[in-house]
Amino acid sequence: MCFNRGMAFPKKRRPLVFTQGELEKLQAIHKARSEEKRRTVRAGILLDAASGTRSDQAIARAHGVNRNTVVLCVNKCLRFGWKAALGELPRAGRPRRLSDEATTWVLHCACQKPKDVGYSYELWTYGLLTQHIRQRCQAVGYPELRRLSRSTLHKILTQAELRPHKIRYWTKPLAR
């Protein structure tokens, strides 16, 4: 029995068709040394699939990926276009619980001194800041912050590169 390893099964999808300009852009991305690896691989996959001379398995072998990666990339291109096929589509998951405005208010609270808000402390602790935010969030219109955890507060502050628990205060030396 002899099997044709290149084209074992005929393709049941539309062929990829690109304009000359799109082909040039894909080739430039594929050859770029400063581009992300996954984008260069995907550009190569799309170029090989558009030529129509290789099977999905052969394309996968040539680029060092799984055949499913080739199929997904080509299908994404057919459905959303070549630019979307080079990148990542939004994935399913739980929707965000905190709005951008609520996060901004948390950062605003963290930038205030605890003494200015009525506490006897010089610096915020995570526990004190969490407690402060939970107590006042309803009044300012961010009820989603009632269940703010210490770890979520830490993520928000770290992402904003804020460290209110490590702020040092010093005075300017007097001019002589």
Same domain for 38 and 63, yes or no, is: yes
Residue 5 lies in a domain: no
Same domain for 116 and 158, yes or no, is: yes
Highest-scoring range by mean pLDDT, 7-11, 18-22, 86-90: 18-22
- Domain limits at 77? 20-86
The last residue of a domain, from among 43, 61, 86 = 86
CA atoms of 18 and 20, how far apart (whole Å)? 7
CA 175 to chain centre: 50
Average pLDDT over residues 116-122: 89
What percent of the chain has pLDDT above 90? 62
Task: Catalogue the long-range contacts made by 117-123 (C-beta closer than 8 Å, 24 or more residues apart).
Answer: 122/169, 123/164, 123/165, 123/166, 123/167
State residue 169's pLDDT score. 47
Q: Is the pLDDT of residue 9 over 60?
A: no
Rounded to whole angstroms, what are the CA distances from 161 to 42, 108, 130?
A: 34, 13, 17
Q: How many domains does the chain have?
A: 2
Same domain for 79 and 129, yes or no, is: no
Tokens 């040092």 — which residue? Answer: 168
CB 41 within 8 A of CB 63: yes
Q: Is the pLDDT of residue 168 over 90?
A: no
Residue 12 lies in a domain: no
- Expressed in angstroms, the distance from the first to the final Cα of the chain is 98
Same domain for 51 and 73, yes or no, is: yes
Same domain for 79 and 108, yes or no, is: no
Residue 136 lies in a domain: yes
Contacts of 132 (CB under 8 A, 6+ apart): 109, 114, 117, 119, 124
The model's pTM: 0.53
Q: For 72-76, 92-96, 106-110, which range has the lowest pLDDT when averaged over its residues?
A: 92-96
Residue 11 lies in a domain: no
State residue 11's pLDDT score. 64
Q: Is the pLDDT of residue 3 over 70?
A: no
Residue 4 lies in a domain: no
